[in-house]
Every structure is written in structure tokens, then in C-alpha cells.
A and B are shown apart, each in its own frame.
Chain A
Amino acid sequence: GDSVTQMEGPVTLSEEAFLTINCTYTATGYPSLFWYVQYPGEGLQLLLKATKADDKGSNKGFEATYRKETTSFHLEKGSVQVSDSAVYFCALSDKDQGAQKLVFGQGTRLTINP
């Protein structure tokens, strides 16, 4: 079945550092890809999405590009802030499977130190 693999956390960076969180996926169809963010004590919020190959999703300085050839959707940000500390989830939905769900990765906890 479909699956999503994220880089192991936790990830700790200093403020203004460059961030990459790796995400690769396995899907039999042609999925849409998402990054969700979970701040402490809250539910998940959509951060960005991409629906077809070579699409770039972006929001709040974060970017991710849908790479079909490498089945990847890595999350990047050029200069992180303390307020970016959260858990980040990569996810896919695969319409060819007819699945009525998102498939999530295991999450990557990010801590930014001032």
C-alpha cells in the first residue's frame, strides 16, 4: 500500500539556519502531496501542498517541490525562526486508489534555539 517516509527526528537548529526535512513516498497512483504542521497542544494545520509533478507548494517561507522521478517532497526553509518549532508531517492522498484518507509519515519534531 501507499506509504510515506520522513527523516528521523528530532531536529534541532539555531535561529536563521537552513532547514531541510526529507520526505519520500510510495504510491501506486498519482498522489497529491502535503505538509502539515502541529504546534504544541494543537491539531494539525495544512502548511502547503502540491498536486502534480514539478509543482512547488509554498507558505510562510516554507517550500516543497513534487519530484516524481525521485518520489520525494522535501520541505525547506531558508531561515528558520523559534516560532517554527513544531512537529511536521508529510502526507499523501492517492486518488487512483480510491482511498478516502491521507497517509501520513511518522512526523519530524523540529526545535529552533534562539
Chain B
Amino acid sequence: EAQVTQNPRYLITVTGKKLTVTCSQNMNHEYMSWYRQDPGLGLRQIYYSMNVEVTDKGDVPEGYKVSRKEKRNFPLILESPSPNQTSLYFCASSLSFGQGGTYNSPLHFGNGTRLTVT
């Protein structure tokens, strides 16, 4: 089954304790992205990647890191989490989003990771 898999689904941690949220897709997609969802704000992009070893900042990258060493994986790293990073996080992938200047390819989303930082 074609899917985007995020782990864990729920995570409670304390301020300053490094954590990683994993994201994996099995559709051979070029494009991957991380979003956070907050009430009243919709989804905001954190980072995206057009291909292996190519990553770029989105709208709210502060406090986050990503890597794209393999095509299928795009982990989100919080080196020193803070309470304002408490949110619902989504990973998404797309076959050709942004390729050749086209933006019609749909994004496929994971089921989300609810992170609480105390």
C-alpha cells in the first residue's frame, strides 16, 4: 500500500531533550516536506526537500533540522525542543511537486505526530 509513515504518533517530552520524528514514503517520491498544524493557523511549512541531499527552509524553520540522505526518508530533528514547538506535525510527499515549475501534483500526507513539550 502506498503511504507516508510517521513515527511516533504521540510524543511527550521535556524542554531541551533532543528528539527525532521519522518519516518514510514507499512511493519513490522526489519531493518531501514537513508541516506543523496549529489551531487557527492552518498548516505551515517547516522544511522541504526536492531530492536526496537537497533541503530548504520553509516558513517556520527555527528550532528544527532535517536531512535527506535517502529518497524514502526525511526525519525531522528537534535539537533542543521548547514548549512553543508543541504542535501536530505532518510529513508529506509528492511525485513531482515543483518539478519543471509545475505544482499540480498532490501531496500525500502521513497521519501526523502529536508532540507535547513540557
Q: When the two chains form their complex, are residues A46 and B110 in contact, meaning their CB atoms are under 8 A apart?
A: no
Query: Roughly how many angstroms separate A46 CA and B35 CA in the complex, as a whole number?
Result: 16
Question: Which of A41, A46, A94 contacts B106, CB < 8 Å?
Answer: A46
B46 CB to closest chain A CB (Å) equals 10
Question: Which of B44, B50, B109 contacts A44, CB < 8 Å?
Answer: B109
A95-114 CB mask vs B (1 if < 8 Å, else 0) is: 10000111011110000000
Query: Roughly how many angstroms separate A107 CA and B31 CA in the complex, as a whole number?
Result: 24
- Cβ of B66 under 8 Å from chain A: no
- With A49-B106, A100-B98 given, is the CB distance from A44 to B42 under 8 Å? no
- With A49-B106, A101-B48 given, is the CB distance from A43 to B112 under 8 Å? yes
Q: When the two chains form their complex, are residues B48 and A104 in contact, meaning their CB atoms are under 8 A apart?
A: no
Chain B residue, CB-CB nearest to A100: B98
4 closest cross-chain pairs (CB), A and B = A43-B109, A93-B103, A104-B42, A46-B106
- Cβ of B84 under 8 Å from chain A: no
Q: When the two chains form their complex, are residues B103 and A89 in contact, meaning their CB atoms are under 8 A apart?
A: no
Query: Roughly how many angstroms separate A102 CA and B103 CA in the complex, as a whole number?
Result: 9
Question: Which of A45, A95, A101 contacts B33, CB < 8 Å?
Answer: A101
21 sampled A-B residue pairs with Cβ under 8 A: A41-B112, A43-B4, A43-B90, A43-B109, A43-B111, A45-B109, A49-B104, A51-B104, A89-B43, A93-B97, A95-B102, A100-B33, A100-B56, A100-B97, A101-B58, A101-B59, A104-B42, A104-B43, A105-B42, A106-B41, A106-B42
Q: When the two chains form their complex, are residues A95 and B101 in contact, meaning their CB atoms are under 8 A apart?
A: yes
- Cβ of A32 under 8 Å from chain B: yes
Q: When the two chains form their complex, are residues B56 and A42 in contact, meaning their CB atoms are under 8 A apart?
A: no
B24 CB to closest chain A CB (Å) equals 14
Q: When the two chains form their complex, are residues A102 and B104 in contact, meaning their CB atoms are under 8 A apart?
A: no
B58-83 CB mask vs A (1 if < 8 Å, else 0) is: 11000000000000000000000000
Q: When the two chains form their complex, are residues A102 and B48 in contact, meaning their CB atoms are under 8 A apart?
A: no
List A1-45 residues whose CB lies under 8 Å from chain B: 4, 31-32, 34, 41-45
Chain A residue, CB-CB nearest to B43: A104
